[in-house]
Every structure is written in structure tokens, then in C-alpha cells.
Amino acid sequence: MEFNIETLVRENIRLMAPYSSARHEFAGEASIFLDANENSIGSPIPPLRLERGLELAHRSISVGGGEALRPLNRYPDPLQTTLKQKLSEIKGLPPQNIFLGNGSDEAIDLLFRIFCEPKHDTAIIFPPTYGMYEVCAAMNDVRLKKIPLTEEYQLNMDAIEEAIDPHTKLIFICSPNNPTGNSIRRGDIEILLNNFDGLIVIDEAYINYARQRTFIPELSTYPNLVILQTLSKAWGLAGLRLGMAFAAGPVINYLNKVKYPYNINTATQQLALEALDNINTVNEWIITTVEQREWLTEQLLALPLTKIVYPSDANFVLVKMAGAKKIYDYLCTKGIIVRDRSRIILCDNCLRITIGTPEENKLIIKTLKTYEQ
């Protein structure tokens, strides 16, 4: 296999001059910033963790621990240096291997833009899977080859080998997979990493709930590996919109080249920094959610309506039920919304149920017990 990022990248992206701000170019210590047409007087709201009395400070303010908070009248740090430093410690990889996006959805879109020539290049996905790969492909006018998972919701390796052609740039593997909940066999992913000379994107949005470990340690072995994670699920910050891509330096550099310069706003950077201090709480929530997943699975299996509860490595379960659509409608009338997946491939009569709080889980089971077929 011959992996060469320069031949993989679209020519217009390779040749384009990136947007450059004056502050970006200036590396020294400055205290007067008259380069970006910001409001020098101030902003109507103080920085989120600003100490009293410093409201009129114009520069990044040191608050100890090497953290610098920016007043909101200033543009955000385009490369999110402080936040990446902290993530680097938590994730165990250097900041140069981290890209941050406005949700991991931004990274998905940028990968298409960087690597796939519209109408010409292709990408491969494995339905049933996360919907945004297809949305971003369509938006970028890139043809998708869809290779359905097997009945066991694993990769169909023979069909993948057949589908890969010289124009295939990206392969998206969602593991644990949404909406089926299972992890994809590690050995199969490794075969693709070793043999595909485009990029393998592993979407690990649900990795915190999985028995299988992350591929992050494999980044030093595979220049063609991109890992997506997010603060939207286990970290409980879907409203913040912060997604992460981990990859070798050259891939990260291209992601930074094409992103909007200030894609992560100052409020998000500051709140994320604060949130990352609460890793112990997040770990407790993960334990609770996994316990509740096992409880919900048992309870669902005990219902006469239930045909299959698929084993899950995520914070949801996929359940095959007799008359799923009618059960979905019934739950709606009781004010409980689940995801009806019954019309998508390999998910006939399936509902996807997110693991709720213990109270919510008890309530949905109680409600299902009173359902009359």
C-alpha cells in the first residue's frame, strides 16, 4: 500500500492560500491590538470566568494554571491552543494531532471537501449507519458507495474489497455503530487500515460506553487513520457543539487549512475547558448509563412484544419489536419519544431507544407493559 496525502488531497485545496489573520502571523508579545477591527472598548458581557474588576482588560487574561481567557470583544484563538493542550493530556496524544470542529459533523464535511473531487471521487459507508455521512456527501456532490453491514452488523469484507476503486478516497466506519449499537470487529478495521491507501475514518462518538478500546494508540502506526470523537454524548455537551478529529499531522494541517478561521467560538472554548475538569463526574455517568443499558436490555427482553435486543456498546439499544411503528406512535401519545428506525435497511421493525435516567427507563418499561397490541 502506498499512502501519500499530497496525491490524495484535491488540487485546489493543496494549492489554495489559507486565510491568514495578522494576529496569526505575529508571534511576539503585544498588548495593543489594532489589527482586526474589533471593538477596543469592550463587550457587553464579561469573559465567562473573569475575576471581578478585570472587565475592561483588553488582552487574554492569565487566571493561573497557564489558562488564558479571552474577553468576548476579541476574536477567538483560531487554533484553540489552551483547549487542545488539556485535551491532549486527557486523550494521551500531542496537540498537533487534534482538530476541533463545530461538532464532529464539521470534520465529516471538511474531509469530503479536502479529499473528494465532486462528481469524480467516491467514499464508502456501511448502512445502516449515521446519517451525516450521506448528507455531507450529497452536499459536496460526492458519490457514495453503500455496502450494507452483514446480518451480524459487521463489515462485509469481500464486498468492500470489490467496491474500492482508484477514486475511493474515504471509508467511514462508525464504531460503536449508530443505530445498531455494536462495535465493528477490530481485526477487520486493521485489515482496511493496512490495505487501503485512502483515509479510514473511525467515528468513535460512543466509544466511552464501549467494551472495545479506542483506536487512538494506533494513530502512530497508521498515517491514513482519522478518529472522530465528540463532547456531545458521554460528556453531556451536545448543546456546546464541540467535535474532535485525531489524525497524523498532515491530515490535521489540511483540516486547519480549510476550516473557517474562528470555527470554535470563545464561549465554547472556555466552557469546554471548564467541563474537562469534571472527568470524574463524567466517568460516574458512564458507569450509570452502562448499568442502565443492561437493566433496560433485561426488561425489554422480558416483554412479549420484544423480538431482539441487539447487544450495545453505546448509550442506546436497538430493539426489534412486533409492530414497531404502532409502538412508536403509542409511546408518542404517552409523551415518550424514541427513534423509529423500522424503515431503514436491516432494521425492520426496530426502534432505537436512548438510555435515559433510571426514572425514565422505569417509566418507558412501565408504559410498554400497558401497551395493548
In the stretch 198-217, what mask flags binding to ligand PLP with x, by CB under 6 A? -----x-x------------
| Rounded least distance, CB 255 to ligand PLP, Å | 15
Pick between residue 114 and residue 173 the one whose CB is nearest to ligand PLP: 173
What's the helix, strand, coil split of the chain in %, to 5?
40, 15, 45
Instruction: With contacts defined by CB under 6 A, name the span among 193-201, 232-240, 327-335, 364-372 that binds ligand PLP.
Output: 232-240
Question: Which of 82, 97, 175, 232 touches ligand PLP (CB under 6 A)?
Answer: 232
Q: Exposure pattern of 193-211 as b/e (b: 16+ CB <10 Å)?
A: beebbbbbbbbbbbbbbbe
Interhelix angle 104-115/249-258, nearest 10 degrees = 100
Among 80, 122, 224, 230, binds ligand PLP (CB under 6 A): 230
The phi and psi torsions of 62 (rounded to 5 degrees) equal -80, 125
Select 75 or 130, whichever has its Cβ closest to ligand PLP: 130
* String marking each residue 116-155 x if it binds ligand PLP according to CB under 6 A: --------------x-------------------------
Task: Name the closest residue to ligand PLP (Cβ).
Answer: 103
Q: Rule CB under 6 A: is residue 174 a binding residue for ligand PLP?
A: yes
Identify the residue whose cell numbers are 395493548. 372
The nearer residue to ligand PLP, 169 or 233, going by C-beta atoms, is: 233
For residue 225, the cross-strand partners are 200
Sequence-ordered list of residues with C-beta below 8 angstroms from that of 353, at least 6 positions apart, any chain:
296, 300, 316, 317, 319, 338, 339, 364
CB of 243 to ligand PLP, least distance (A): 4
C-beta separation of 324 from 349 below 8 A: yes
Of 71 and 106, the one with the shorter C-beta distance to ligand PLP is 106
Q: Does 243 bind ligand PLP (CB under 6 A)?
A: yes
Number of residues that bind ligand PLP (CB under 6 A): 13
The three cell numbers of residue 239 are 448543546
For the CB of residue 126, give the shortest distance to ligand PLP in the complex, in Å.
12
Contact between 67 and 266 (Cβ < 8 Å):
no
Nearer to ligand PLP by Cβ, of 78 and 101: the residue is 101
Q: What angle do CA 151, 168, 158 make, to 5 degrees?
A: 35
Q: What secondary structure letter does DSSP report for 310?
A: -
Q: Which stretch binds ligand PLP (CB under 6 A): 99-107, 255-263, 319-327, 336-344?
A: 99-107
Q: With CB under 6 A as the contact rule, which of the stretches 101-109, 250-258, 276-284, 353-361 interacts with ligand PLP? A: 101-109
* 182 touching ligand PLP, by CB under 6 A: no
- Return the range that interacts with ligand PLP (CB under 6 A); candidates 38-46, 103-111, 136-144, 363-371: 103-111
Distance between CA 273 and CA 262 in Å, rounded?
17
Q: Which stretch binds ligand PLP (CB under 6 A): 46-54, 136-144, 214-222, 225-233?
A: 225-233
C-alpha cell at 172: 467511514
State which amino acid sits at residue 104: S
Answer yes or no: are the C-beta atoms of 106 and 259 closer than 8 Å: yes
Residue count of the chain, please give it: 373
Binding site for ligand PLP (CB under 6 A): 103-105, 130, 174, 178, 203, 205, 230, 232-233, 238, 243
